[in-house]
Structure 1
Amino acid sequence: MSGSLSPVMVSPIVHRAAEAGVVLEADQWDALARYRDLILEWNRRFNLTAIRDPAGVEERLFLDALRLLPALDAVLSRTASMPPEVARLLDVGTGAGLPGMVLAIARPALAVTLLDATGKKVRFLEHVIADLGLDRVTAVHGRAEDLGHDPAERDTYAVVSARAVSSLPALLELAAPFLTLGGTALFPKSIDLDDELAAGRRAAPLVGMAIDAAAVLPGSTTRLVIATKRAPTPVSYPRRAGLPAHEPLGGRGAVPANRGGSRGGTR
């Protein structure tokens, strides 16, 4: 992997990650530095993310993803009893690869699938995968509403993550079909989540899910929603493209996702 670490990579972000219980090897920081450079390079060609400076990528994208690792590790510790083919992670609406690519770099033994509906973004992800030699990471061009009905993908993941994709009821509907029974969904959301969380709790049982926690991550303004698949998801879910976001489960109308629409937040 080429390049050297920026001053930010070797100091503040390393220390702030450590404060969240995250410690990486030097080659993993090197990989993140290269990934950062590729994001900035490709972002000049088309819109990968609204964040366009190195420090912003490191602090607002990478650090936010790294803060998920303690929760992910807790989930992975329970996958030993699962068949190897389901001990893997799906990142829905991954965009520039967040948080899935960062999690894959930090946990190289984990099989990760990065799903996005935009072909240009998937081509970028394929380039990063090849550049960094991430042989357990796959980029897939498609929509969760469609792939969730594929028998080869349904009920086959231990973990599903999604960042800034949609409201919590929609995320639960999109994630549940992919999860094996006992699998876990990790959704980083904004702190101001009370109304959305209430709607999510109403929607969760409809797709076999239960929300277990929604705690603020250390040193951040993010609440991590953790949900577990407790029952099979009805075959009618996910509904066709657009319906989960525009007609969310749980009633009382649509709930804004991080106050930002169907792909809110910063990618």
Structure 2
Amino acid sequence: MKYFQVMNTVCSNLGVSFNKEKYYKFMKYKEILKLWNNKINLTAIVEDEDIIKKHFVDCIEIFKFSPMKNVSNIIDIGTGAGFPGIPIKIIDESKKITLLDSLNKRINFLNQVILDLKLEGISCIHGRAEDFSKKVEYREKFDAAVSRAVANLTVLSEFCIPYVKTGGYFIAMKGPAVEDEIKESKNAINILGGKVEDIVKVENDNLDHNLVIIKKIRRTSKTYPRKPGIVAKKPLK
């Protein structure tokens, strides 16, 4: 129970519930992450306390955007080791979560975490974001898209906004230097049917992060996303 109080305090401050069952799931997740990280590159953060604070707590902080408590169907684009999708699911098991990643080794890891933690209402997709948002069963079907990926916001918006229903949200978890990135991406976000609604500052153990909140205000043109490879090579202006 070494880190229980740390996580419980964060959740209490955010207005989300936390208990021993959720704590043990996070601890099991941590151990699976460390074990698999010896075989495939999942994270450079390997110390227990750092995993708790820089991964788990950082992901839970997405609930600082209060509408997150009410959304029910979420897709995590470029989820990697399951961040933030799996922590969101552990905190609120009622949410339906889809994890998308382009590397099959990571999908195998995620499926193992889901199995070992006995999580329900969560599934994985192996593929590129540009491909699956063209499919009718995924396009504009989610209340929210989330991403903790490191891509530029212009690129990330073209990956993520097509998945979101009109009236829903794309939440980009970004570092401290977001102002210039937001300025550069505003036109692209508008083209894709979105609008920057808010920037929520998150301060966690000396980490200065931001939640960039983009609201989907109209449907995305079928032109977007463009073909794989083009989005990153030729970002929207």
Equivalent residue of 1:212, what SS?
A: strand
How many angstroms apart in 2 are the aligned matches of 1:115 and 1:96? 11
Structure 2 residue aligned with 1:74: 67
How many angstroms apart in 1 are the aligned matches of 2:27 and 2:147? 22
Structure 2 residue aligned with 1:224: 211
Equivalent residue of 2:30, what SS?
A: helix
Please tell me whether residue 211 in structure 1 is matched to residue 196 in structure 2: yes
**Contact 2:79-2:149 within 8 A present in 1 as well:** no
Please tell me whether residue 55 in structure 1 is matched to residue 40 in structure 2: no
Structure 2 residue aligned with 1:185: 170
Deviations 1:83-115 (A, max 9, x none): xxxx40000000000000000111100000000
**Contact 2:16-2:91 within 8 A present in 1 as well:** no
What TM-score, normalized to structure 2?
Answer: 0.94
How many angstroms apart in 1 are the aligned matches of 2:13 and 2:217? 32
**Contact 2:150-2:174 within 8 A present in 1 as well:** no
How many angstroms apart in 2 are the aligned matches of 1:155 and 1:182? 10
How many angstroms apart in 2 are the aligned matches of 1:243 and 1:21? 41
Q: Write out aligned runs for 1:144-183 (5 A).
A: 144-183=129-168
Query: Is the alpha carbon distance of 1:152 and 1:132 closer, same or farther for their aligned partners in structure 2, counting shifts above 3 Å?
Result: same
**Contact 1:154-1:177 within 8 A present in 2 as well:** yes
| Range moving further from structure 2, 240-249 or 38-47 | 240-249
Number of residue equivalences: 235
Structure 1 residue aligned with 2:22: 28
> Which letter maps to 1:222?
H
Structure 1, unaligned runs of 5 or more = 80-86, 251-267
More strand by share: 2
How many angstroms apart in 2 are the aligned matches of 1:237 and 1:208? 10
Equivalent residue of 1:248, what SS?
A: coil
**Contact 2:17-2:91 within 8 A present in 1 as well:** no
Equivalent residue of 1:150, what SS?
A: coil
How many angstroms apart in 2 are the aligned matches of 1:76 and 1:112? 13
What TM-score, normalized to structure 1?
Answer: 0.84
How many angstroms apart in 2 are the aligned matches of 1:16 and 1:154? 34
What displacement does 1:26 show? 1.4
| Range moving further from structure 2, 225-234 or 10-19 | 10-19
> Which letter maps to 1:43?
N
Please tell me whether residue 238 in structure 1 is matched to residue 214 in structure 2: no
Query: Is the alpha carbon distance of 1:66 and 1:24 closer, same or farther for their aligned partners in structure 2, counting shifts above 3 Å?
Result: same
How many angstroms apart in 1 are the aligned matches of 2:62 and 2:151? 18
RMSD over equivalenced CA pairs, Å? 1.5
Same amino acid, percent of matched pairs: 28
